[in-house]
Homo-oligomer: A and B are copies of this chain.
Amino acid sequence: MFSGTIPAAASPADGVQYLELRNALAARIAAGEWRPGDRLPSERALQVSGQAARGTIREGLAQLEAEGLIYRKDRSGWYVSPAPIVYDPTRWEGFISYVEAQGRAPATETLDAMAIAADAFLAGVFGREAGAPLNLIRRRRYVDDRPVLVEYIVVDVALAPDLLRFSFDQSLTGILKSHYGLAVTRNKVEMQPCALTGREAEALGIKPGLPGLNVVRTSYDAQGRVVEFDREYWRHDAVKISVEARVR
């Protein structure tokens, strides 16, 4: 009744068909009938065995998806979710190292990298005037070949001139430190559960509206300058946040 680290499932009998399907599938997943990455039977196959309309089947599957136990690949099928990555956004280590430290295979892909001018919001973030030159980098990151997040990074051109000549498929952290001497000493992190829509859903290859986690990080150096402003959109089933901090 109170143990483990993950919320308990619904009770076995709910008097509701789609929850009973959900429970049946969850039990079979827990029993190891399918392993992470495996495909579930098709919706129409589940209809036959479960004797329900397809809409009802889909509601049960959507339930498991919301819980992060399964995910869908568009027009391909429903798959069992792998374990989430544990992520501490207050650490300045970089995606690659902590994913590897958890025995998983990270990958990074740069989608865009361009010069932009600060709008009112970004001007405020960086403490510059509107129109100040900034660089915007958009990346997609993978764990074990599955896209798990898309991120938008903004860097002040004044602090890192000519940044766009680099490749960002590796660690941006390393570039900022070794080529520009920029060391982060303080982070401000905001997180909010959200829905992944529009460009983010498209970049992750998912159906718009799937739950996600929006992480916004502002990184400062010892002089209080904003080194990096980073907005990440994570698949909700791919990440688990862990933060350790002294009480202030």
Q: In the complex, what residues of B have CB within 8 A of residue A91's CB?
A: 247-248
**Contact mask A146-165 → B, CB, 8 Å, 1/0?**
00000010100000000000
Q: Closest Cβ of chain B: how far from A223's Cβ, in Å?
A: 14
In the complex, which of the residues A8, A11, A187, A193 has the most CB atoms of chain B within 10 Å of its own CB atom?
Answer: A193
Q: Which of A211-248 contact B (CB under 8 A)?
A: 211-214, 216, 233, 236-237, 239-248
Q: Is A176 an interface residue (CB 8 A)?
A: no
A216 to B4, CA, bound (A): 11
Q: In the complex, what residues of B have CB within 8 A of residue A242's CB?
A: 188-191
User: How many residues from A make CB contacts under 8 Å with B?
Assistant: 69
A2 interface neighbour in B4, B152, B190, Cβ under 8 Å = B152
Q: Is A109 an interface residue (CB 8 A)?
A: no
A246 interface neighbour in B2, B185, B193, B214, Cβ under 8 Å = B185
For residue A238, which residue of chain B has the nearest CB?
B193
Q: In the complex, what residues of B have CB within 8 A of residue A121's CB?
A: 3-5
- Residue pair B245, A187 in contact (C-beta under 8 Å): yes
- Residue pair A120, B3 in contact (C-beta under 8 Å): yes
Q: Closest Cβ of chain B: how far from A160's Cβ, in Å?
A: 18
In the complex, which of the residues A121, A185, A197, A214 has the most CB atoms of chain B within 10 Å of its own CB atom?
Answer: A197
Q: Is A103 an interface residue (CB 8 A)?
A: no
| Chain copies in complex | 2
A214 interface neighbour in B7, B10, B185, B216, Cβ under 8 Å = B7
Q: Which of A61-79 contact B (CB under 8 A)?
A: 62-63, 66-68
For residue A246, which residue of chain B has the nearest CB?
B186
For residue A236, which residue of chain B has the nearest CB?
B193
Q: Is A55 an interface residue (CB 8 A)?
A: yes
Chain A interface residues (CB < 8 Å from chain B) = 2-11, 14, 19, 55, 62-63, 66-68, 84, 89-92, 116, 119-122, 136, 152, 154, 184-200, 208-214, 216, 233, 236-237, 239-248
7 more A-B residue pairs beyond the given contacts A2-B152, A7-B198, A190-B243, with a C-beta to C-beta distance below 8 A = A3-B120, A5-B121, A7-B197, A7-B214, A90-B245, A191-B242, A211-B211
15 A-B residue pairings within 8 Å (CB atoms): A2-B136, A7-B194, A7-B198, A8-B197, A8-B199, A63-B209, A91-B248, A186-B245, A187-B247, A188-B242, A188-B244, A190-B240, A190-B241, A190-B242, A191-B191
